[in-house]
Amino acid sequence: MQRLNDPVLVVQGLTVYRGTHLAAQDISFTVPAGTDTAIIGPNGAGKSTLIQAVLGILPHQAGQIMALGHALSDRGYLPPAVRQQIAYLPQNFLLDRRIPITVSELVGLGWDRVGLQLPWVGSRARRQAVRAALTKVEAWHLRDQLVSSLSGGETKRVLLAYCLVRPRALLILDEAPAGLDVRGESEFYQLLHQLKQEQGWAILQVSHDLDMVRRSCDRVLCINRQLLCEGTPDHALAPEQLSLAYGPDLVRYQHNC
Amino acid sequence: MGQISFVINITVNFPATMSLETELTRVIELFQLPFMQRALMGGVLTGLMGGLLGSFTVLRQLSFFSDALGHSALFGISIGLLLGISPSWVILPFSVVFALAVTYILERTQLWTDALLNIIYSSSLALGIILLSFRDEYRGGLSHLLFGDILAVQTTDLVFSVLLLVACAGFIGLTLRSQILMTLHEPMAKARGVNVSAHRTAFIVLLALVVGISIKAIGVLLISAFVVIPACAARLLSRQFTHYILLSAVLGAISAVVGMLLSALFDLPSGPSIVTVQLGIFLLAALIPTARAIAS
């Protein structure tokens, strides 16, 4: 477990191209342990590209990414022990419905190491970890169901269990609560809060829900291909800052019901 | 590997009035012959390898790719014959190089994958047949290339197949979690540190070797059935990924044994008999859910 506020992720001068298109330019930020950092910005601002580059899914053309003190190589390599401590929940998890995989199997994949290993090694510990993770997200009853038969909300809970099945230091979410109902979303953020407070997880999440960001996050990065502002929600979500990213015509409606 | 033989053609005709017992005795005696034992072993090994790799091939939507590999092998054999090199020595390296080249093109083209594969496999077939036409002695052997001759399998072929099966099982077994994760969601696999490109290349090379080594026994036209049909049948019968992989390999082996027995019993060509059994298993697997629904 990281000590509170130890830097878990340090990004310096990151520049990413998608083909010939400049998606992120000279972006720097730090994500400390025990904090929840939101990335906000308009559509096409490069939010998903940024986190995919941070994870090594996309190559970066300039800058440096340090995860848990280890530099991500140009080819996206991080030591397996570091990778084990990072969990990622993608924006669109569109599982081919013809793939036969049960909920238990999918969550178990989050527990497994991905290097060479005999498939039956650690199966007892794996089962216990899967049970604990599914219980935590209240999805134990779904364990034998095919993932393809789940609803959108159930799939999100199962994917969260995939992330929780092992202790992590960094959880990266790309619009993760999309598809959850009000209760599911509330439980989702409660769980994130618990992981952050009790286990010191650092959370980096892309979100379009500015009210949630104001309520739940500790820091906000506002980007539109480059870092426009960074700070506490009160600072970064101030109208003058938001207009930098979304344009001067942005009107935010406050719901006071 | 021994020379490819295109000339063995066993025809065993028995009167229809013979009893079942006599027929079975004849089949048992037939399988005591070394070439039949080799053929059975060859069929089982091809079935196991095809089923094992086929499980991932089907889910990754590479079924047509295995078909293209099979057709391209004919082109490789033709080049070997023109250069005076034994086809057995040409086919494996050609299949691997061809598979890697096609993968490279597929990753960089903006054309549809199935359309591009169609261009590749039909033109390979055309070029292969044109090249074969320059070698008179192989004109008659074309049907053996197209449909294979499992009875011509040599001990050396079996040794290669056993080694390849061990390599396939070792690769899939030791990287099982990475393979499943890649099949489910490539970005999630990359985020976990899976070297997707290296795993994909290794898988394609193994698939090319399996197709290449099985051409002699099964033929250019039918080899993709060994990769696709048992996997599809296993998919219909499986709820868990690991069960699906194992069942696919087992169904591949079972269909080879049953196909060979039926081939011997009714004096049918071996490769097509095995593929017909695969089809029968697939249809049964497709009917089981319907039968269950009716029963309940």
The interface pTM score, or ipTM, of the predicted complex is: 0.90
Count of alpha carbons within 13 Å of A146, Cβ hemisphere only? 13
Domains annotated for chain B, with CATH where assigned, are 38-295 (1.10.3470.10)
pLDDT at site B81: 82
Q: What is the pTM of this model?
A: 0.87
Given a contact cutoff of 8 angstroms between Cβ atoms, the answer to whether A172 and A159 are in contact is no
Burial zone of A103 (CB within 10 Å; 0-12 exposed, 13-18 middle, 19+ buried): buried
Residues A54-63 as b/e (b if ≥16 CB within 10 A, e otherwise) read: bbbbbebeeb
Contact A76 B190 (CB under 8 A): yes
Q: What is the pLDDT of residues B129-146, one digit of tens each?
A: 888 888 766 655 667 777
**A255 pLDDT higher than 70:** no
Minimal-distance CA residue of chain A relative to B194: A114
Q: A19 in contact with B at a CB cutoff of 8 Å?
A: no
Given a contact cutoff of 8 angstroms between Cβ atoms, the answer to whether A208 and A240 are in contact is no
Kindly state the percentage of chain B with pLDDT values over 90. Answer: 47
Average pLDDT of chain A is 89
Provide the token pair at A25: 């330019």
pLDDT at site B164: 96
Question: In chain A, what are the domain boundaries?
Answer: 1-85+171-251, 92-166
Q: A102 in contact with B at a CB cutoff of 8 Å?
A: yes
Instruction: Determine the distance in angstroms separating the CA of A86 from the nearest CA of chain B, rounded to an integer.
Output: 8
Kindly state the percentage of chain A with pLDDT values over 70. Answer: 95
How far apart are alpha carbons A64 and A53 in whole angstroms? 10
Q: Which residues of B touch A90 (CB under 8 A)?
A: 185, 187-188
Q: Which residues of B touch A119 (CB under 8 A)?
A: 173, 176-177, 242
Provide the token pair at A203: 């959370």
Q: Which residues of A touch B185 (CB under 8 A)?
A: 90, 93, 95
**A59 pLDDT higher than 50:** yes
Of the candidates A110, A100, A91, the one whose C-alpha atom is nearest the C-alpha of residue A144 is A100
What's the DSSP call for residue B12? -
Contact A105 B241 (CB under 8 A): yes
Q: A125 in contact with B at a CB cutoff of 8 Å?
A: no
> What is the residue whose two structure tokens read 């005076």?
B84
How far apart are alpha carbons B269 and A71 in whole angstroms? 60
Q: A245 in contact with B at a CB cutoff of 8 Å?
A: no
Minimal-distance CA residue of chain B relative to A49: B187
Q: Which residues of B touch A117 (CB under 8 A)?
A: 174, 177
**B15 pLDDT higher than 80:** no
The superfamily (CATH) of domain A1-85+171-251 is P-loop containing nucleotide triphosphate hydrolases (3.40.50.300)
Q: Using 50, 70 and 90 to split pLDDT, how confident is the model at B9?
A: very low
Q: Is the dihedral of CA B100, B102, B107, B113 positive or negative?
A: negative
Q: What is the pLDDT of residues B207-254, one digit of tens each?
A: 999 998 988 888 888 889 999 999 999 999 999 999 999 999 999 999
Question: Chain B residues within 8 A (CB-CB) of chain A?
Answer: 59, 173-178, 180-181, 183-185, 187-194, 235, 238-244
Of A57, A80, A117, the CB nearest to B191: A57
Q: Give the neighbor-by-neighbor strand order of the sheet with A170-174.
A: A86-89, A170-174, A202-206, A36-40, A219-223, A227-231
Instruction: Determine the distance in angstroms separating the CA of B175 from the nearest CA of chain A, rounded to an integer.
Output: 5
When mean pLDDT is compared across A227-236, B3-12, B67-76, the lowest value belongs to: B3-12
Q: What is the pLDDT of residues A187-225, one digit of tens each?
A: 888 888 888 888 899 999 999 888 889 988 999 999 999
Q: Which residues of B touch A96 (CB under 8 A)?
A: 59
How far from chain centre, in Å, is Cα B93? 17
How many Cβ pairs within 8 Å bridge chains A and B?
79
Instruction: Identify the H or E element spanning A227.
Output: strand A227-231
> What is the residue whose two structure tokens read 């009035």?
B17
pLDDT at site B7: 41
Q: Using 50, 70 and 90 to split pLDDT, how confident is the model at B3?
A: very low
Contact B191 A172 (CB under 8 A): yes
Q: Once rounded to an integer, what is the mean pLDDT over residues B3-32?
A: 64
Q: What is the pLDDT of residues B57-83, one digit of tens each?
A: 999 988 888 888 888 888 888 888 888
Minimal-distance CA residue of chain A relative to B190: A57
Of A77, A98, A117, the CB nearest to B174: A117
Q: A234 in contact with B at a CB cutoff of 8 Å?
A: no
Q: What is the pLDDT of residues B166-214, one digit of tens each?
A: 999 999 999 999 999 999 999 999 999 999 999 999 999 999 999 989 8
**Hey, which residues 63-92 in chain A have their CB within 8 Å of chain B?**
76-78, 80, 83, 86, 88, 90
Q: A113 in contact with B at a CB cutoff of 8 Å?
A: yes
Of the candidates A181, A183, A173, A180, the one whose C-alpha atom is nearest the C-alpha of residue A217 is A173
Q: Which residues of B touch A99 (CB under 8 A)?
A: 59, 183-184, 241
